[in-house]
Chain A
Amino acid sequence: MPRYAAPFTKTNSDSVLQILEILSQATVQRCRLDHLIVKNKGTEAADAVFDYVVRRVTGSATGTALTPNPVDPNDAACRSAAKHIITADAASFSGGAELLRVPLNNRATFQWMASDGQELVGAAVNTNGLSVGVAAATTSTFAGTAFFKE
């Protein structure tokens, strides 16, 4: 099963929940998120808690398309579509099934990884998939990388 890396950022000042989305396209396949690294890049002067979440989504946000790269250069190009620098959240993000929630100080970095077969799974339905975000809308800036299989 090919593995892909999606390095993402949130550099805009829009107050949004979503940071990254990975969605199946017309040629459907399940995406399986197995490694996530996220850092708040802002110059945060005071302590504050961010709840990072990963949710299933059933629609696309408005943002900048990014091309996930195969970790092994011999693998085929990624079939899923990914977006970062989200400017308007998908309506389905707030109520999407929550698959991971990690609260931490805004100055902290976190990474989460899954064992083989225990990944976070998005349905094989056109424009359905997984999204990384925060529980409360923010204008902060973030960066990180998501690794997934399809």
Chain B
Amino acid sequence: MPRQEGYLIITDPEGPVIERDTLRCRHCGRHVEVKPATMGQVYLIPDRRVPGGYREVAGAYCGKCHAPICLTCDTGHCEPLERQLERQESRRSILTAAGLL
């Protein structure tokens, strides 16, 4: 069972307190809400068109880094968050060193 990575509490005076776990996408770092008692296998995607405001969707998993990912990153291409951040940071430092920023 995946360990808890994030936790969300919504306190609404008009309704019950909602508590949900969130999972972090290993590719982009986004946290997605997961359906309770599904071991992170079902994501809850905000969608105002459906009752309750959430659409249930099967979760995604990267077979290369063996970790859960968000649906946006479910493209078959594996680039972990750390590599994306390093690329972004090194690009900026190269441009700065070249006097382009």
Chain A interfacial positions (CB closer than 8 Å to B):
28, 30, 47, 49, 51, 97-105, 107-115, 118, 120-121, 123-126, 128
Contact = CB atoms under 8 A, between A and B. Distances in A.
Chain B's interface size range is: 20 to 34
Contacts, number: 88
Given A115-B5, A121-B81, A107 B31 contact: no
Contact of A112 (B15, B22, B29, B89): B22
A14 B31 CA distance: 29
A115 B30 contact: no
B10 A49 contact: no
**Interface SS majority for chain B:** mixed
Interface of B: 3-15, 22, 24, 28-31, 33, 46, 48, 53, 81, 85, 88-89, 92, 96
A97 B89 contact: no
Given A101-B46, A113-B7, A125 B13 contact: no
A114 B31 contact: yes
26 contacts: A49-B48, A51-B46, A97-B28, A97-B29, A97-B30, A98-B30, A99-B28, A99-B30, A100-B30, A100-B31, A105-B14, A107-B12, A107-B13, A107-B14, A108-B10, A110-B8, A110-B11, A112-B31, A113-B7, A114-B5, A118-B24, A118-B31, A120-B31, A121-B29, A123-B89, A126-B92
